[in-house]
């Protein structure tokens, strides 16, 4: 199988990530904060070590600002539902993933918030003038995907963050597609909260993610309530961070794998990993651009983007391209709307969507060649074959 769907989840994982998970499961993991026996203490230590590493990775000084979640979606729910109050004005970009837009559309439908959408262009880039115009001094929160999971367009988040801060508003960054590929320093950049998934850029197991909470954010309500392992007599969720947000037994093997993933990124170098992925996406882009029947969407070769490309082949439904790639070539790509219908409306590919190809750090040039040849066959065969 040739895996070119790293935008959904990364594969394969570095050896040290695999080894750490196997060791954690084989040795048996206790529940952090629950009990004073050896395994519970060891698990607690491993989680706190990972918390420190995660906080530092995002330029945060205090460990308690790094909250472990179960996914990017979970982190976005925690941030939005914890921060927004009835009657608040909220903005999101026009390329948001369903993990943001579904919550906000539902809140709007329930007349809980006043929601507006900041325009993006046909490549998925945020319209900064529209952001400036729509962000009012009464805007509570602005949610922006750092990079679109449909087009790869990488937003100028320094500029967006400055605009948001000038109006006294708060910026929540969905970093699902950029984490560990584009540096995010919350100590230096105007970002208030960052949501990420471990299983993409950090090469961790699925089922672990995080919410980073910057210094300006106060009054975040717990999104999940339940056991924290301390202050058990309290009728309500205890206030101290990070436990206030981490009710329930956490995903210890997942968090350990995140720690190892971060170590791998630091040792290999975020820039080296990003450059290697960019080199591969360039090979794919150059090849696709040479095929008359192929249309590429999103940023041009010299515009800021992450390593994924959305395209369509004339005469082919995206789903059919995906099926042929999978069934005849054992190549995995993502097709359709990629959980981001808004982005497809923006780039004009709604409702059929696109074929999205996302090579990873471990993808070989030979695998890319096989993919390119397969696409050429379809691009030169304009009638779909079932």
Residue 10 near ligand PLP by CB under 6 A: no
**Which residues from 183-222 bind ligand PLP, rule CB under 6 A?**
197, 209
# of chain residues touching ligand PLP (CB under 6 A):
14
Interface with ligand PLP, residue 94, by CB under 6 A: no
Q: Which residue has the tokens 């929540």?
A: 172
Rounded CA gap, 38 and 35, in Å?
A: 9
Which residues ranging from 32 to 71 are in contact with ligand PLP (CB under 6 A)?
A: 71
d(CA 86, CA 65): 25
User: Is 173 a binder of ligand PLP (CB under 6 A)?
Assistant: no
Closer residue to ligand PLP, CB minimum distance, 211 or 368: 211
Q: Which residue has the tokens 């004339």?
A: 314
Residues from 117 through 156 that contact ligand PLP (CB under 6 A): 145, 149
Least distance in angstroms from the C-beta of 350 to ligand PLP: 17
Per DSSP, the three-state class of 311 is strand
Q: Do residues 108 and 114 make contact, with C-beta atoms less than 8 angstroms apart? A: yes
Which of 20, 101, 151, 177 binds ligand PLP (CB under 6 A)? It is 177
Say how far apart CA 115 and CA 109 lie, in whole Å. 10
Asked whether 55 and 63 are in contact (CB, 8 A), the reply is yes
The CA-based angle 194-195-199, given to 5 degrees, is 130
Token reading at 185: 């320093």
Residue 176 Cβ, how far from ligand PLP at the closest point, in Å?
A: 3
What is the signed CA dihedral for 251, 247, 177, 348, rounded to 10 degrees?
A: 130
Nearer to ligand PLP, 128 or 339 (CB): 339
- Asked if 307 is part of the footprint of ligand PLP (rule: CB under 6 A), the reply reads no
| Binding residue for ligand PLP, selected from 174, 192, 243, 246, defined by CB under 6 A | 174
* Binding stretches for ligand PLP (CB under 6 A): 8, 71-73, 97, 99, 145, 149, 174, 176-177, 197, 209, 339
């Amino acid at each position: 199988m040739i895996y070119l769907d790293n935008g959904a989840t990364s594969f394969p994982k570095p050896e040290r990530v695999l080894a750490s998970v196997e060791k954690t499961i084989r040795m048996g993991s206790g529940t952090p904060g629950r009990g004073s026996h050896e395994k519970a203490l060891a698990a607690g230590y491993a989680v706190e070590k990972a918390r420190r590493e995660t906080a530092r990775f995002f330029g945060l000084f205090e460990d308690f600002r790094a909250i472990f979640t179960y996914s990017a979606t979970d982190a976005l729910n925690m941030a939005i539902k914890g921060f927004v109050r009835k009657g608040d004005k909220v903005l999101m970009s026009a390329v948001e993933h369903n993990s943001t837009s579904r919550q906000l559309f539902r809140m709007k439908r329930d007349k809980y918030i006043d929601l507006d959408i900041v325009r993006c262009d046909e490549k998925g880039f945020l319209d900064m003038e529209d952001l400036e115009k729509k962000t009012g001094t009464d805007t509570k929160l602005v949610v922006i995907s750092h990079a679109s999971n449909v087009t790869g367009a990488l937003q100028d988040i320094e500029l967006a963050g400055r605009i948001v801060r000038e109006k006294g508003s708060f910026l929540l960054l969905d970093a699902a597609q950029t984490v560990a590929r584009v540096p995010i320093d919350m100590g230096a950049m105007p970002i208030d909260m960052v949501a990420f998934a471990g299983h993409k850029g950090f090469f961790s197991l699925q089922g672990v993610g995080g919410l980073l909470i910057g210094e300006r954010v106060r009054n975040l309500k717990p999104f999940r309530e339940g056991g924290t392992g301390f202050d058990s007599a309290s009728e309500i969720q205890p206030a101290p961070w990070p436990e206030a947000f981490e009710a329930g037994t956490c995903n210890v093997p997942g968090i350990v794998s995140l720690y190892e993933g971060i170590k791998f990124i630091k040792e290999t170098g975020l820039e080296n990993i990003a450059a290697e992925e960019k080199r591969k996406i360039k090979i794919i882009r150059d090849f696709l651009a040479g095929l008359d029947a192929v249309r590429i969407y999103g940023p041009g070769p010299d515009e800021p983007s992450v390593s994924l490309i959305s395209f369509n082949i004339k005469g082919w439904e995206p789903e059919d391209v995906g099926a042929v790639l999978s069934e005849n070539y054992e190549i995995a790509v993502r097709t359709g709307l990629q959980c981001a219908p808004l982005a497809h409306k923006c780039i004009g590919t709604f409702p059929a969507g696109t074929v999205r190809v996302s090579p990873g750090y471990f993808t070989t040039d030979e695998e890319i060649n096989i993919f390119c040849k397969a696409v050429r066959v379809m691009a030169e065969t304009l009638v779909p074959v079932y």
